[in-house]
Amino acid sequence: MRIGEAATRSGVSAKMIRHYESIGLLAPAARRDNSYRDFDARDVHDLTFIRRARDLGFSIEEIGRLLALWRDRDRPSREVKEIAKTHIAEMETRIARMQEMVATLSHLAECCAGDERPDCPILSGLAGEQTKAPAAASDARQPDHADQGADQR
Amino acid sequence: MRIGEAATRSGVSAKMIRHYESIGLLAPAARRDNSYRDFDARDVHDLTFIRRARDLGFSIEEIGRLLALWRDRDRPSREVKEIAKTHIAEMETRIARMQEMVATLSHLAECCAGDERPDCPILSGLAGEQTKAPAAASDARQPDHADQGADQR
DNA sequence: TATAGACCCTCCCATCATGGGAAGGTCAAG
DNA sequence: CTTGACCTTCCCATGATGGGAGGGTCTATA
């Protein structure tokens, strides 16, 4: 089948299939005489595997490792579980961090009248005037790569 | 003061200060004869405001609006609160999505022996073999921009 | 048979927030 | 006068994804 059908069946866009191939996550697809990529059920399976892993928030790098383990019939399940547990821990850390942000911001928002008057504890809080809030995650940043959720856009 | 000191005082890297200026989030900084940027306390205040907002997960676009509201002494606090509430709702959505992922993956991991044997429900789950898990967020994706937390790396 | 339209191809660019680094200018202290 | 710590601009990279240009291929239909 051609890339469009593989995309539909796996739920991975044609764009991303080509991308995964280009970064080496997938072996180069077979080609027909007209240079079109040619996919079979096994390819669709791999793509579906990748999509499910992405849906669980795994990064491309982790997915690469999972795919390798999947292909190795004799791998110890221990290795897979380790990747999963590490990933779960990372997600839980991110969740906790976001919950802190929500808590801090909610505190400020609760203190804000939200009417026509200009006084606003939210802006004051951002400006540094203490509102004795439960302290937000305040320093150091990180470009988290994987809050990737499932959604539109 | 020069950019380095402004960076230290505000907690925003020199790199990002220039970036914020270049995208118009901040007005172009004053310059000295030697073309070095020259910052004063007010600039440091704005930068600190930006950093705090980032720490609360606001996107650059939202921060731009918050800064404008901050500078407008007569804005109704209602407008600020609306931005904050929308942002809180977005973060809560992302948190919920990640919690779903963690739940699904935890279920699979719990079913996995994690020993030397090759059988692994985690890989089987990703491969599509049903494990009657509580169903993960399964389709549609979105490149969420702002799970930006505070962290090392 | 010619053509429309639905596919496919490769490339390049954009996003968002951030950092790395090159190539070069400026300044103060040794 | 050199060294080193600053600063400048400019380009590139990240990760996952989409948009689109410019062009080729195939099939159905007028």
Reported residue count of chain A is 153
Closest nucleotide over all strands to B35 (CA to C1'): D8
Q: How many CB atoms lie within 10 A of CB B153?
A: 8
Give strand letter and number of the nucleotide nearest A148 (CA to C1').
D16
pLDDT at B129: 66
Residues of A with Cβ-Cβ distance to B117 under 8 angstroms: 76-77
pLDDT tens track for B72-126: 888 999 999 999 999 999 999 999 999 999 999 999 999 998 888 888 898 888 8
Fold of A3-71: Multidrug-efflux Transporter Regulator; Chain: A; Domain 2 (1.10.1660)
Which residue, B70, B43, B50, B68, is CA-closest to A124? B70
Instruction: Name the residue with tokens 């007005």.
Output: B27
Least confident of B28-32, B115-119, B130-134: B130-134
Quickly state the pLDDT bin for A129 (edges 50, 70, 90).
Answer: low
CATH 3.40.50.150 for domain B3-60, yes or no, is no
Mean pLDDT, residues A98-123? 90
How long is the CA A31 to C1' D25 vector, in angstroms? 14
Q: What is the per-residue pLDDT for B16?
A: 96
Least confident window among A86-90, A116-120, B10-14, B105-109:
A116-120
A28-32, A139-143, B54-58: range with lowest mean pLDDT: A139-143
Nearest by Cα to A128 from A108, A103, A98: A108
Closest CA to B53 of B6, B22, B16, B78: B16
Rounded average pLDDT over A63-89: 91
% of chain A residues with pLDDT over 90: 67
A143 in contact with nucleic chain D (CB within 7 A) = yes
Give the per-residue pLDDT at A125.
87
